[in-house]
């Protein structure tokens, strides 16, 4: 288990139905460079929900979406599992837009933006997710 700080993001629609969950943490790779490992789960369109993992290495210009199979076979599998537990844990189950108990608790602290409710941890950095959000399946995109 990593001792890095985890940052999370939760978005619901105006009816407070789950749309997107993201969790990431900043680690160091073997060369001492910052490495962002993350998980996402949420709406991909057409009534479907899906998720996956991502790795961002700014020093080496790497933005990579990682499949479930590749994540489970990686050196970071335990971290990815933990992060998916957070990102996917905001909804009741993978086929539902119902918020979990934790999701309902966090969305009470959310801000309303363009009709949706958004909760972010205080130091969550959506700007650094701009490039990776262009290649993941979620309908959610970030801008820097």
All structural domains of the chain with their residue ranges: 6-133
What are the φ/ψ torsions at residue 117 (nearest 5 degrees)?
Answer: -105, 130
Indicate whether 1 pLDDT > 60: no
Please tell me the predicted confidence (pLDDT) of residue 2. 60
Which among 117, 122, 124, 123 has a CA at the least distance from the CA of 142?
124
Tell me: the pLDDT tens digits for 22-42? 999 998 877 888 899 999 999
Residues 56-65, mean pLDDT to the nearest whole number: 90
- Please enumerate in sequence order all residues whose Cβ is within 8 A of that of 122, keeping only pairs 6 or more positions apart, or say none: none
**pTM to 2 decimals?**
0.90
3 in helix, strand or coil?
coil
Indicate whether 44 pLDDT > 90: no
- How far apart, in whole angstroms, are the C-alpha atoms of residue 60 and residue 138? 25
Please tell me the predicted confidence (pLDDT) of residue 105. 94
């Amino acid at each position: 288990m990593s001792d890095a700080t985890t940052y999370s993001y939760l978005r619901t629609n105006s009816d407070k139905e789950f749309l997107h969950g993201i969790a990431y943490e900043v680690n160091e790779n073997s060369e001492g460079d910052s490495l962002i490992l993350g998980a996402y789960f949420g709406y991909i369109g057409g009534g479907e929900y899906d998720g996956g993992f991502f790795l961002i290495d700014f020093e080496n210009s790497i933005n990579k979406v990682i499949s479930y199979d590749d994540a489970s076979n990686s050196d970071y599998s335990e971290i990815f599992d933990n992060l998916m537990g957070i990102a996917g844990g905001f909804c009741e189950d993978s086929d539902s837009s119902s918020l979990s108990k934790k999701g309902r608790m966090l969305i009470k602290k959310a801000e309303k933006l363009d009709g949706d409710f958004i909760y972010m941890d205080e130091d969550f950095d959506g700007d650094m997710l701009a490039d990776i959000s262009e290649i993941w399946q979620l309908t959610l995109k970030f801008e820097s």
